[in-house]
Amino acid sequence: MDINSSHNPLISVIFPVYNAEKFIKESIESILNQTYKNFEFIIINDGSKDNSAEIIKSYKDQRIRYYEQKNQGLAKTLNVGLSYAKGKYIARQDNDDISFPNRFEKQISYLEQNQQIAVLGSWAKIIDENGIFTNRFHHHSTSPLNLKFELVFDNPFVHSSIMARKDIIEKTGMYHLDNDYFEDYNLWSRISYHYQIANINEELLLYREVNTGMSKTTNSYKTRVIHQCVLNLNHYLPEQINLNKEIALIYHSQKNKFTSEDKALLKKTFINLIYLFDKNMNKVYSQHIIDKHILIVELNYLREKISNKKSNFLVVILSKIKRRIVLNKLLKY
């Protein structure tokens, strides 16, 4: 059933549904109640066996385009949604999350003013299965250069908060169906190889943690993240392709003990990546360039911290490097 196909929306919202009767009403209404109105709402029922279909059909909003299909899984369903989409921008939301009313308005404004950004997420508040705020947030980095670095190792985006340019998703090859990788982490990684990405530093979404979700503590979760990490490292550092799996395992703490060689390899990889990104993104340096001698002092301090067994060397390295990226004060020497 295609409820409406006549208007020309700027945004296409892709909303896969599977057995979501418990949460879907609030989730749908959070989209319909957006302050920005020029969107189509593509709802795809991916073979639900509960009352999700009846709930969806109870809405008569002309922006809704509703489709039913046999169960195909998330990645395939997202690609089906992309094939239906008419908008310049693709917005995502899962069937149990809740968008704040001004989410689309904020994201459209940002993307229209920043044409270089291909993918835009936002911060999110985390709620539990009953909708109770957990006092936790997804406050990921907002800097394009910082996000590019973080994506090499992990996924700093909340999928439900994403708004992206449709043409770039299509050029990049849409969502891959390989179960060895997370479809969203894989797509953002591939896009980031050639385009800039960003997050808005404002909570525009309620992200629901449910018992049926994939726990980040499971081996399957870690394995899929590590697989993507290796792909990313191979893309950026093909000259050390024989070491990149080892680096991914070190970063994701899949080794019982870190040796001094592990630490040196990881630090060298981080520095190589940062210099590579700095060069390729044509970063404009701050007028207040850090003196080379100060940089050497900082690196010596970093080495000292790494050698201290009481400190978490990963945290130390990342905090120092991220700070320098954000401040645009890296020196090549």
The span from the first CA to the last CA of the chain, in angstroms, equals 62
**Does an H or E element contain 271, and which?**
helix 260-280
**Cα separation of 98 and 33, whole Å?**
11
Strands 117-127 and 133-138: antiparallel
Cβ–Cβ under 8 Å, residues 193 and 173: no
User: How much is the pLDDT for 307?
Assistant: 56
pLDDT tier for residue 255 given thresholds of 50, 70 and 90: low
Cβ–Cβ under 8 Å, residues 31 and 41: yes
Q: What is the 3-state secondary structure (H, E, C) of 44-82?
A: EEECCCCCHHHHHHCCCCCCEEEEEECCCCHHHHHHHHH
- The pLDDT of residue 327 is above 60: no
Q: Three-state DSSP class for 163?
A: strand
Predicted confidence (pLDDT) per residue in 147-170, tens digit: 888 899 999 999 999 999 999 999
Alpha helices in the chain (DSSP H): 24-32, 52-57, 74-84, 103-113, 144-153, 166-172, 183-192, 219-236, 244-251, 260-280, 292-307, 313-326
**Cα separation of 261 and 250, whole Å?**
11
C-alpha triplet 56, 83, 14: angle, nearest 5°:
40
- The pLDDT of residue 311 is above 60: no
**Does an H or E element contain 187, and which?**
helix 183-192
Q: What is the mean predicted confidence (pLDDT) over 183-200?
A: 96
**Cα separation of 249 and 254, whole Å?**
5
Task: Provide CATH 3.90.550.10 ranges for the chain.
Answer: 11-208
**Cα separation of 52 and 7, whole Å?**
26
Mean pLDDT for the chain overall: 84
Q: What is the mean predicted confidence (pLDDT) over 101-106?
A: 98
Does domain 11-208 fall under CATH 3.90.550.10? My reply is yes
| The two three-digit tokens of residue 182, written as one number | 């997370």
* Region of poorest pLDDT, from 64-73, 224-233, 240-249, 264-273: 264-273
| The two three-digit tokens of residue 232, written as one number | 């990313």
Predicted confidence (pLDDT) per residue in 13-35, tens digit: 999 999 999 999 999 999 999 99
User: How much is the pLDDT for 295?
Assistant: 46
* Region of poorest pLDDT, from 21-35, 241-255, 309-323: 309-323
Pick from 267, 273, 281, 128: nearest CA to 195: 281
**Rounded to the nearest 5°, which phi and psi values hold at 104?**
-65, -40
| The two three-digit tokens of residue 174, written as one number | 């849409």
**Cα separation of 156 and 141, whole Å?**
7
User: How much is the pLDDT for 288?
Assistant: 34
- The pLDDT of residue 194 is above 50: yes
Q: pTM score, two decimals?
A: 0.83
Q: Which residue has the tokens 């109105």?
A: 37
